[in-house]
Structure 1
Amino acid sequence: MNEAQDVQSVGIHFPPGIPDKVTAEVSRIAQMFMVDGESLRKITDHFVKELERGLSDQDSDISMNVTWATKYPTGYETGQYLTVDMGGTNLRVCNVVLTDEKGGYEITQSKFKLPKGLKTGTADELWAYIADRVADFLRDHNLDQGDEKLPLAFTFSYPITQDKIRHGVLQRWTKGFDIEGVEGHDVVAQLEAAFEERDVGVRIVALVNDTTGTLIASAYKDPEIKIGSIFGTGCNSAYMEKCGRVPKIADYKLPGDQNVAINTEYGAFDNSHKALPRCQFDLEVDRTSPRPGQQTYEKMVAGLYVGEIARLVLIHLHDTVGFLEGADLTRLRRLNSMESSCVSKMEEDGADTGSVMSETKAILSEQFGIEPTLQELRVCCLLGEIVCTRAARLYACGIAAICKKEGLKKGRVGVDGSTFEKLFRFKSRAAAALREILEWPDDEEDLVTFVQAEDGSGIGAALIAALSSEG
């Protein structure tokens, strides 16, 4: 089976020995997850309307946040900047030196896994943790400047409202965070207070979203980059818009042809439930999430949720038609116990017709205490394909919507996030779906292509700090 011929377009072939009631239910689920080309185009058209509404500050599911990053880099930016990236899983602290060489930089970094309790702790605990790690980094790398404070760009990849580059009010938590006392507040002021309290020698000069950083860092190396996208724990994109096409900043009286980067925050697309084909498993993922009713699109496509969807499907099959009969599913029943990497490995196992499913068997045995038969392993691999295929195809809708809205006929999309690279066949499936949506002629190559992004939260954040200091 080649990459174009997956469960989206061909009948399912089950291994012999699987009971009819299991094959019937898996076929029903496959149909539930199928999104054909016509459906993708309808979703994309609705997406375009929501992008436009967000720029007008109308009642849109997509907030279309103005970031106040107003320039593409030239490649000749210089200076030394600290960057802090608070993602969904890790905290990364970097020292970035933009060198005299065109496009040149040097980077030193440390990564820290965010403590689990931090996601639902207090605001003081969050900012104290970040400030302490920055202090550790300065000490470990002998970067203390004495009375002179180092400029720092803070990558905070959550929906924020900005009225300037070093200010941002958190609209809502995403990615499983639910910390009281931060929503509705300026995160720059809160983090700076923690720095001051600990006498950490830095000053925040720019607040950056990782999508915007990805856009700027990728354009630093490749002028054909038109969209910066994140596909990892969450899902989001940024692009450059003309100020004259952003009605909600009309009061700023900016030149109509001036660029400004828009962080779409389109993980919230279709929170009003008008376009996306949600099924019972999507509803369950939403119900058990920290913020039900929010981030509808993200919950159907992003890395944080792909494994959870597959887990729910396996449990459903066990409980309704006796799949994995006799197995103890105690560990599998734990919320969020299956990561997207597990699903990817399952599917990759299933793609090799001669495979004995050793990786899938090891995952189910070691992580969940389940010992499936070879036939059951093949069904597990098929389920991985079903879930991941839909995620890739829906992901393409957001990119296609920006292309259609901007009249973008050719260019590249810089995509950051390990999930994009590691999910089996994700990139090729997203590319195929983009071709379907934008209806390119069969004899033409892909006009908009996906490429691995440059380091948005490190290099991109430093570049935005440098560009903003230029005035």
Structure 2
Amino acid sequence: MDTITSSHGLSKLRPQLPIDQADIDSLSPVLKEELERLKSIFYVSTRKLIEISEQFEKELQDGLDNYGSNISMNVTWVLGWPDGHECGNFLTTDLGGTNLRVCWIKLTERHGETNVIQQEYKLADDLKTGESDALFDFIATSLGDFIEKHKLGGTKDDPLKLGFTFSYPAHQDYIDHGKLVTWTKGLEIKGVEGEDAAGLLRQAMAKRDLPIHLVALINDTTGAMIASAYNDPETIVGAIFGTGCNGAYMENVGSIHKLRTDLPEETPMAINCEYGAFDNAHNVLPRTEYDIQIDEESPKPGEQAFEKMSAGLYLGEIYRLVVVDLYEKGLIFKDQDASKMRNPYILDTGFLSGIENDTSPGMADTKRAFIEKLGFEATPEQLIFSQKLAEYIAVRGARLCTCGIAAICRKKGIQSGHVAADGSVANKHPNFKRRWANAMGEVLGWPVDREEDPITITSAEDGSGIGAAVIAAMTLKREKEGQTAGIKAV
């Protein structure tokens, strides 16, 4: 039985959905008709899933063949899987959409103890839309604070080794270099797009004379895959189902036609797909009027089409837009103060999950959440309606999240293994994995009466921390052995 903590602080056990057909039939004819409309527009059929996955496969290949493609399929210069014997002490930092995390990680042998010391630094709102200097000064200052606080030492001749997790689309000519293609996750910081994020951090650290050597720039999805493979050799793909969405997998260098390198064709290279940008041309994704509104009002209209329909950052906003629409049509929450409801992104995925999985008597938890978040006093009928709406949006998100992974598996002929998934949607919504697995079976044609799923989601190891440390260790080992492809000594 699953446990979930919702955004309004409620923890509960979730045996089954409390709303049944009798509850839906009890709705007024107007609300029942509207609920049917919403169910229809958010439903994604098996046939549509297969169509999306087939187009996904085409765009993945185009990204391997050409620079500037819709799905960028970024080379990472992470060559091969870890052998499980990577060891050493590493500093890591992860620039997320909300916080900066700094870690000190000690790697030991496979299945041995991994020691992690970590601290989070809040990313202020003004940094998210400010200038590049302010952002990288903040990162460098946080690193300096962490080093001093934990007395980590480091000298100019023997600096601390850093893995920098930069979870945004970046073009890498070397593993310690990465030009930002475009901001995602709602960030819009000036002076970074088109620039080397690793170089900007080096400059900021140099100003403070920090004894740090940046070894590798890492995407969190690649990091999640490598960190998981460090302990689980059945790992086949890394995935992010959280604030954003993404996938990473191993591709033979010979199949990356846009890459010019002397490496043997069979050399495995981790590919950071950046497939949140899938179908930016809007050819196959079943967008609703609410999806279109989210795109048009976003900092990057016309970009990250797939992410805006499936990632955690947007699911709560889709829900809010539906509620606003119905309120303005006079169908729900009439004569109540709508001021809170009009605040964009006031609702998160945890709010939706809390509503969908509410088993409290009379849905008291959901009623309280509506009061706290939106200032609405919901009637029993509105609570039923709201729970089904949350379910429709969550089901669509889970089913869409199948398509990218299914396309990778079809492309590579992968028939079994573990998808190492990180992110709040994958790991905190109790129904996500079941819905995802059912959709995978539909797309890949698994037997309906199967006893177990051949491809399953596992909770990813810490990609931005342990994964960054393992990749840094792999890079240093390659450098020591004279394997210099993709390594730029700075």
Query: Given the two structures, how large is their TM-score scaled by the length of structure 2?
Result: 0.91
Quote the offset at 1:363 in angstroms. 1.1
Give the 4+ runs in structure 1 shifted more than 3 A: 10-18, 100-104
Q: Which residue, out of 28, 31, 45, partners 1:22?
A: 31
Q: Which residue, out of 464, 467, 470, partners 2:474?
A: 467
Separation in structure 2 between the aligned mates of residue 245 and residue 234 of structure 1, nearest angstrom: 27
Aligned residues: 462
Separation in structure 1 between the aligned mates of residue 52 and residue 211 of structure 2, nearest angstrom: 48
User: Deviation per CA, 1:302-345, whole angstroms, max 9, x where unpaired?
Assistant: 01000000001111111124211121111011111111110110
Q: Which residue, out of 420, 423, 433, partners 1:414?
A: 420
Q: Which residue, out of 317, 327, 333, partners 1:324?
A: 333
Q: Does 1:450 align with 2:460?
A: no
Q: Secondary structure at the match of 1:332?
A: coil
Quote the offset at 1:450 in angstroms. 0.5
Cα 1:283/1:128, change in 2 over 3 Å:
same
Partner residue, 1:210: 220
AA of the residue aligned to 1:184: G
Partner residue, 1:392: 398
Q: Secondary structure at the match of 1:68?
A: strand
Q: Secondary structure at the match of 2:47?
A: helix
After TM superposition, list the pairs within 5 Å mapping 1:235-250 onto structure 2. Answer: 235-249=245-259
After TM superposition, list the pairs within 5 Å mapping 1:246-257 onto structure 2. Answer: 246-249=256-259, 251-257=260-266
Does the Cα contact within 8 Å between 1:307 and 1:339 map onto a contact in 2?
yes
Quote the offset at 1:89 in angstroms. 1.6
Gap regions ≥5 residues in structure 1: none
Q: Which residue, out of 367, 376, 398, partners 1:370?
A: 376
Query: Given the two structures, how large is their TM-score scaled by the length of structure 1?
Result: 0.95
Does the Cα contact within 8 Å between 1:76 and 1:102 map onto a contact in 2?
no
AA of the residue aligned to 2:396: R
Separation in structure 2 between the aligned mates of residue 259 and residue 149 of structure 1, nearest angstrom: 30
Separation in structure 2 between the aligned mates of residue 16 and residue 252 of structure 1, nearest angstrom: 63
AA of the residue aligned to 1:169: K
Quote the offset at 1:375 in angstroms. 1.4
* 324-333 vs 300-309, greater mean Cα deviation: 324-333
Separation in structure 1 between the aligned mates of residue 409 and residue 171 of structure 2, nearest angstrom: 24
Q: Does 1:405 align with 2:411?
A: yes
Separation in structure 1 between the aligned mates of residue 67 and residue 52 of structure 2, nearest angstrom: 20
Partner residue, 1:53: 62
Q: Does 1:163 align with 2:173?
A: yes
Cα 1:299/1:116, change in 2 over 3 Å:
same
Cα 1:74/1:93, change in 2 over 3 Å:
same
Q: Which residue, out of 271, 275, 279, partners 1:270?
A: 279
After TM superposition, list the pairs within 5 Å mapping 1:132-281 onto structure 2. Answer: 132-147=141-156, 148-249=158-259, 251-281=260-290
After TM superposition, list the pairs within 5 Å mapping 1:419-430 onto structure 2. Answer: 419-430=425-436
Separation in structure 2 between the aligned mates of residue 310 and residue 345 of structure 1, nearest angstrom: 13
Quote the offset at 1:274 in angstroms. 0.7
Q: Does 1:380 align with 2:405?
A: no
User: Deviation per CA, 1:114-141, whole angstroms, max 9, x where unpaired?
Assistant: 1112110110110011111111100110
Cα 1:58/1:78, change in 2 over 3 Å:
closer
Q: Which residue, out of 86, 91, 94, partners 1:77?
A: 86
AA of the residue aligned to 2:224: T
* 314-323 vs 161-170, greater mean Cα deviation: 314-323
User: Deviation per CA, 1:282-302, whole angstroms, max 9, x where unpaired?
Assistant: 001111111111100000010
Cα 1:434/1:101, change in 2 over 3 Å:
closer
Does the Cα contact within 8 Å between 1:227 and 1:413 map onto a contact in 2?
yes
Partner residue, 1:87: 96
Quote the offset at 1:101 in angstroms. 6.1
Partner residue, 1:336: 345
After TM superposition, list the pairs within 5 Å mapping 1:279-358 onto structure 2. Answer: 279-349=288-358, 352=359, 355-358=361-364
Does the Cα contact within 8 Å between 2:77 and 2:270 map onto a contact in 1?
yes
Does the Cα contact within 8 Å between 1:14 and 1:379 map onto a contact in 2?
no
Does the Cα contact within 8 Å between 2:419 and 2:455 map onto a contact in 1?
yes
Identity %: 45
AA of the residue aligned to 2:82: P
Quote the offset at 1:113 in angstroms. 2.3
Partner residue, 2:441: 435
Does the Cα contact within 8 Å between 2:31 and 2:385 map onto a contact in 1?
no
Quote the offset at 1:100 in angstroms. 4.7
Does the Cα contact within 8 Å between 1:74 and 1:220 map onto a contact in 2?
yes
